[in-house]
Amino acid sequence: MPRFRPAIERIDGYAPGEQPQDAGWTKLNTNENPYPPSPRVIEAIESAARGRLNIYPDPLGTRFRKAAGELFGVDSDWILPANGSDENLTIIVRSFADADDLVTFPYPSYILYETLADIQGARHERLLLNADWSWDLDRVRPMIEQSRIVFVPNPNSPSGNSWSHDTIEQLVPPGGVLVLDEAYGDFPAEPHRAQILQRDAGSRIIITRTLSKSYSLAGLRFGFAIAHPDVITGMRKVKDSYNCDTLSLAAATAAIEDQDWMLANTAKIRATRTRLTNELRSLGFNAVDSDANFVWTTHPDRSHRTIYEALKARRILVRLMTFPEALNGGTIDGLRITVGTDEETDRFLETLCSIVA
């Protein structure tokens, strides 16, 4: 066997949520959108497939960048399309973090940040969040000040809460970049727009967006970054020449051009989210008020693993998550429930009720 780099030998690799390939599951574990994508997306894929697939795609994604720029009120040279938001996160780590550089991120949050820093061989530190998911800015400030990259998902996962722009601005590292991961930025009642880029620290902030969640396109793999053109130009040197294919570029452009479709689906998800949160509470669970398409829930005295397994035995998948060494050295564990359709949510709640009753 060839020897891997020590940085790779040391890690287990990121483990994504389960993706069962057989039918019949109520899948509430990886924050997919339960509603289909816009019909215009399907038409765009069909028409692109009938086009010239023997030719490489547009390496810059010109049409998509124009549409995304219009949507966010920036010029198209502020946009970098990628093969999913995760690819942009990889491009950012490869662009900004050398071996001795520090990468930081809130904890608990999206574990991929840590894996990407490990793969790059960069140093990393977890910025421990308070028990109510707020920041202790005085405690984390010294680490922010030394960071080359600070990753902050807003809304956060697994908790689903958002942080204000005033808080976010205090997380910008003076010698590096703040990556505002807005994978769930279309789900708050007031969806996030790129206003923060207009503030002073703008050129130190990169926003990352995905079409996997609000646009119902997790199977397509498409995301994009929004940042100052000089930042985008640098990141472009790092990306693969043809990181987005012809079909996904056509589909993603059609998706963001059909805002009505996305807004109707996110409105339905917000309504179901409120009902799910209230019902969880009435079953004796704690549930964090969520701005995303999932709800983080814990039970004061039942085992989360037992609940997860009992649901799975009835073909309902939720995400059991464990975060060791969280605040005060304790372990935080709980269940992250994706907001499904009303029917899926009813099935989940009825089953949950029979498990904890």
Ligand X SMILES: Cc1ncc(COP(=O)(O)O)c(C=O)c1O
158 vs 355, which CB is nearer to ligand X? 158
With CB under 6 A as the contact rule, the residue among 27, 64, 86, 288 that binds ligand X is: 86
Q: Which of 137, 84, 127 is nearest to 103 (CA)?
A: 127
Which of 179, 183, 194, 206 is the binder for ligand X (CB under 6 A)?
183
**Member of 64, 72, 78, 110 binding ligand X (CB under 6 A):** 110
Among 61, 106, 223, 334, binds ligand X (CB under 6 A): 223
The single-letter DSSP state of residue 314 is T
Of the candidates 115, 157, 216, 272, which one interacts with ligand X according to CB under 6 A? Answer: 157
Of the pair 86, 257, the CB lying nearest ligand X is at 86
Residue 129 and residue 280: Cα distance in Å, rounded?
A: 24
Select the span of 2-10, 82-90, 118-126, 262-270 touching ligand X (CB under 6 A).
82-90
Residue 173 gets the label, from left (phi > 0), alpha (psi -120 to 50) or beta, of: beta
Name 238's bridge partners. none
- Residue with smaller CB distance to ligand X, 127 or 355: 127
Confirm or reject binding of residue 31 to ligand X (CB under 6 A): yes
Smallest distance, ligand X to C-beta of residue 116, A: 11
**Minimum separation from the CB atom of position 337 to ligand X (A):** 14
Binds ligand X (CB under 6 A): choice among 34, 81, 84, 334: 84
Nearest residue (CB) to ligand X, 34 versus 153: 153
- Output 222 or 348, the one with its CB closest to ligand X: 222
CB atoms inside a 10 Å sphere around CB 38: 24
Site residues for ligand X, 135-154, by CB under 6 A, read 153
Q: Residue 297 contacts by C-beta under 8 Å, 6 or more apart in sequence?
A: 280, 285, 286, 287, 288, 334, 335, 336, 337
d(CA 178, CA 46): 38
DSSP category for residue 308:
H
Alpha helices (H) in the chain, listed in sequence order: 6-9, 39-49, 62-72, 85-96, 112-120, 137-146, 165-169, 229-238, 246-257, 259-282, 304-313, 342-356
181 binds ligand X (CB under 6 A): yes
Q: Nearest approach, Cβ of 218 to ligand X (angstroms)?
A: 6
For residue 138, the minimal CB distance to ligand X (Å) is 25
Element (H, E) at 337: strand 332-338
Question: What residue ranges bind ligand X (CB under 6 A)?
Answer: 31, 84-86, 110, 153, 157, 181, 183, 210, 212, 218, 223
